[in-house]
Amino acid sequence: MIVGVRHAEVENPDGLVYARLPGFHLSEKGRRAAGQLADGLVEAPVRAVYASPLDRAKETASILAGPHGLSVMEDDRLLEWSFWVRWQGLPWSRIRKRDPELLETYAADPASANPEDSLEATGRGVLDWANDAWRGEHDADEIVLGVTHEAPLAAAFLVGRGASVNGVHAMNLPHLSAVRLLPGPPELVDLAEWARRC
């Protein structure tokens, strides 16, 4: 089973758009929550853990990998969607004033908001990672985790189900949400609950 996981909560007291900036680390609450999820998965057959190269994803992945004695492997296909880079380092409150037309486009038609790196392409990248991980040397009953970000994970969910990425606004993927990417179609899963039933 290949599962995408949204990283844990980040320390961001200034409410900045962190996008792809380095140096945004998990909050204490985020570390605790990731630790609780890791504890819930301690008996699960986790055989590999991948992460976006960004600090918050790598830290989450390290916590999840720790009980299994695994090293985290980075994969750029799990990176945050490039759309947000134009505002990284700015407070969320300022982006509406700076680019109201672009935000309106994103609200009305996310599929067209970033043509040079579309949300659909970002979702396909996550699915490509999942397919490559699926072909790895893992048994069918083993779990491979990929820690990523909300937009890429939501896009992978929608694209994998044959739905338009314009449905992204209807999705709510809180921190540490998990999506079973393969076997498909993608499905939201409660990893800790699944592990308890195994």
Is 16 within 8 Å of 91 (Cβ atoms)? yes
Find the DSSP H helices in 66-117: 92-98, 100-108
Distance CA 52, CA 14 (A): 23
Structure confidence by residue, pLDDT tens digits, 74-85: 999 999 999 999
- Go through the domains of the chain in sequence order and give each one's CATH number: 2-197 (3.40.50.1240)
Structure confidence by residue, pLDDT tens digits, 101-144: 999 999 999 999 999 999 999 999 999 999 999 887 667 678 99
Residue corresponding to tokens 């844990």: 8
Distance CA 6, CA 89 (A): 21
How would you write the pLDDT of the chain (198 residues) with one tens digit per residue? Answer: 999 999 999 988 888 999 999 999 999 999 999 999 999 999 999 999 999 999 999 999 999 999 999 999 999 999 999 999 999 999 988 888 889 999 999 999 999 999 999 999 999 999 999 999 988 766 767 899 999 999 999 999 999 999 999 999 999 899 999 999 999 999 999 987 877 765
Beta strands of 135-189 (E only): which ranges?
Answer: 143-148, 178-182, 187-189
Q: What is the pTM of this model?
A: 0.95
Q: Is 89 left (phi over 0), alpha (psi -120 to 50) or beta?
A: left
